[in-house]
Amino acid sequence: MTGFWNEKAETMSRDETAALQLTKLKETVSRAYERSPFYKAKMDAVGVKPGDIEMLEDIRHLPFIDKNDFRDQYPLGMLCVDRRELKEMHMSSGSTGSPVVMAYNQHDLDQWAECMARCLYMAGLVGGDAIQITPSFGLFNGGFGFYHGARKSNMFIIPAGAGNTPRQIKLMNDFGVKGLMGVVSYGIRIMEVLEDQKNEIPTLKVGIFGAETFSDKMREKIENGLGIEAFDIYGMTETGGVSTTGMDCHAHSGIHMWEDQYICEIIDPVTSKAVPDGEHGEVVFTSLNRQAIPIIRFKTGDLTRILTRKKCDCGRTSLRLDRITGRRDDMLIVKGVNFFPKQVEQALMEIPGVCSHYQIIIEEVDGVKDVRINVEAEEGVTGFVVEKKLKEVLGFSPKGDVFKPGTLPRQEGKAVRVFYDSGDKKSN
């Protein structure tokens, strides 16, 4: 049975949700217009005033924002509260140029903790359960996001941070950890070390993973390898951090959105027009309950679709998104074929004997792109088998090699899967 942290908020009717969203949207737009020169200029440029928002559909008259706006307004140009109210800040990782900054007053920290507490309880964790937080405690929001929610929901916190996997395993066994918080690639690393140690973590039952997209087959691998149920948590720096927008439940039939906290739209990435439910597009979020730096029609770059707005078997009534396919800027184009790293991962994980570590290397010579896919696999898996499977999925035969397990490079934190071998040395 899926537990509720805030049953009233998580089971509102569609009419109740719509009424609340409209009230909160009006408040958010007015607050942003009156307190932020950035938002006032944005709205004035398209001729929209707060009073023009009379129904939820009017959100489509408001201008979009994106990561470039956050970078242009670095560090606090989008602030809608007095700076003396601020309690905390976090920044995005991996971006070029000015970073994306999210600042919080106490209200916003409480909102973040509320969203995370819902996720923890949805995964079957309850007050008193021991959870181990493996993301770093620093500018990246991951560690603190889990921490704030765990404090609010009275969990027993092991704030391990990143790295030192043997110690992580010892802590989990010593303190009877039930829930592992982190990125899925680090869960894979824990599996490998456990195998080397011929060890296990019998108390571990739940893994909540964010910051990386991962395929259904990768989920199966980590669930079987660690003996857990794995959950896909959603949120980003711009929305306020990990968990702020939602997570999947035990039914694993889509990511529940916290619709009392955010309005979710799916738009065509090219035209920016709304697409029908079920059609893939780009996720756009508007925050309804954030004060320091609210977001209005923030283009996330994430690609997915709305699966359903019907009540879930778990009892929650919020709309559910399909799991994230990838990002607009993650799409790779090689030999005239468009594909995402997640498609490669899903194909590889379907080959018996293939391990969890792989590399996608984009090579460019004289302006011509090619791709090399290296993968670890058990003895007996041949390059021909890998190439054949990838051709079925991608529509062309990539180059690549099969390596013995444990021989490709590892990272203790978020995995790097895509590498560029050209004059432009960047990685995703």
Instruction: Give the chain's domains with CATH numbers.
Output: 1-328 (3.40.50.12780), 331-421 (3.30.300.30)
By DSSP bridging, strand 332-334 and strand 255-257 are unpaired
Predicted pLDDT of residue 94:
47
Please name the residue that has the structure tokens 């309804």.
288
Q: What is the pLDDT of residue 342?
A: 78
Mean pLDDT per 10-residue segment, the chain (428 residues): 87 98 98 98 98 98 96 96 98 71 98 98 98 94 96 97 94 98 91 94 97 85 96 96 97 97 96 97 98 98 96 97 85 74 85 90 75 90 88 83 89 73 51
Whole-number Cα distances in Å, 181 to 126, 175, 210, 232: 15, 15, 8, 11
Structure tokens at 22: 């409209």
Q: What is residue 384's predicted lDDT score, i.e. its pLDDT?
A: 87
The burial of 136, by beta-carbon neighbours within 10 Å (0-12 exposed, 13-18 middle, 19 or more buried), is given as: middle
CA-nearest of 295, 291, 301, 422 to 365 is: 422
- The Cα 224–Cα 389 span in angstroms is 23
Predicted pLDDT of residue 427: 42
pLDDT at 96: 55
Q: Taking the chain, what is the end-to-end CA distance rounded to the nearest angstrom? A: 38
